Amino acid sequence: MLRYIARRLLWAVALLFIVTAVIFVIFNVLPTADPAQLRAGRGASVEQIEAIRESLGLNDPIHVRFARYVEGVVTEFDLGRSIFQNNAPVRDIIFDRLPATIMLTVGAAILWLAVAIPVGVISAVRRRSLLDRTTMITTLTLISAPVFWLGLVALYLFAQDVGVIKIFPGIGAYSEADTFLGKVGAMILPWIVLASATAAIYARYIRSQMIEVMGEDYIRTARAKGAPEGVVVRRHGLRSALTPVVTLLGVDIGTLLAGNAILTETVFNIPGVGGELASAIGQSDYELIQGIVLFGAFFIVIFSLIVDVLYAYLDPRVRYS
């Protein structure tokens, strides 16, 4: 097990270095706007722009700039400075927005698992029944619906400020809340929206896994020994079917924490990492975009490593493959 973890850890470090290099090339080598020009603003003289380029080290060779960038990331987690936010460190901006994204992601993950697991299991056990067909049609509809559309429909129906049925806090409620319970209340509608499409995906996946598992020999053996059907489904079927879900869950949480909840955060005006990324793109704040993308890549790689180790713990056969 330790050798497997060490091997995966080395691979994660190598992958992080490759990702850092690719992101650096995209934002510093490929044709983009001149960072010095963006910092200088309109009407700046050539001398002012050149002075900024010199102070930022943009005139240095590309390998020197990359080495300096990697050193800053490794030693101080320095992701650069925002062009349009008073030269604020990108790291501080991300950490300031991260709690909202974590709250959105964790709450939505709990909700979609609480819905997807029983729905997937019941659909698999009662295969081809009216309940199964209704569930699959509903999940297919939710998967096909864009998240931003679901968010707008939810606001129109249930938001206290613009909704027809004024139940949940609406746009910008998270920023206005000054207590933890207030922020939880402001997150209910975003949780439902973000969890809806994801729960549909998980329900269909768990259903397919359960159908496959329930046809295995050890399931027939458990039934032949007289085990109650509920015990067979919960203890033998569900436990095996949920093991591959760990991989899917780890990747989804990693990508959401990396800012992939950008649509949900934008629709509900949640000050999270995704919303900050959308704002940075609109302002062409390349330093901030680069920092958020690299920070997100770290999240995804780290969560993939955690999933690999956890999966190996749950299924020892993985260590020897």
Same domain, 103 and 122: yes
Angle made by CA atoms 274, 160, 141, in degrees to the nearest 5 = 60
Question: How far is Cα 298 from Cα 292, in angstroms, rounded to an integer?
Answer: 10
Q: What does each C-alpha distance from 193 to 1, 126, 287 come to in angstroms?
A: 39, 27, 31
pLDDT, mean of residues 277-281:
86
At 111 the pLDDT is 92
Among residues 90, 107, 124, which one ends one of the domains?
A: 90
Q: How many domains does the chain have?
A: 2
Question: How far is Cα 268 from Cα 290, in angstroms, rounded to an integer?
Answer: 24
Same domain, 173 and 295: yes
Q: CATH code at 175?
A: 1.10.3720.10
Cα dihedral 123, 124, 128, 133 sign: positive
Same domain, 85 and 140: no
Same domain, 86 and 128: no
Same domain, 182 and 260: yes
pLDDT, mean of residues 176-193:
89
Same domain, 275 and 137: yes
At 104 the pLDDT is 92
Minimum mean pLDDT among 35-49, 159-173, 222-236, 238-252: which range?
35-49
**What is the phi/psi pair of residue 172, to 5°?**
75, 10
- Residues of the domain holding 56: 2-90
pLDDT beyond 80 at 272: yes
Question: How far is Cα 318 from Cα 311, in angstroms, rounded to an integer?
Answer: 8
Among residues 52, 72, 90, which one ends one of the domains?
A: 90
Same domain, 280 and 295: yes
Among residues 90, 121, 153, which one ends one of the domains?
A: 90
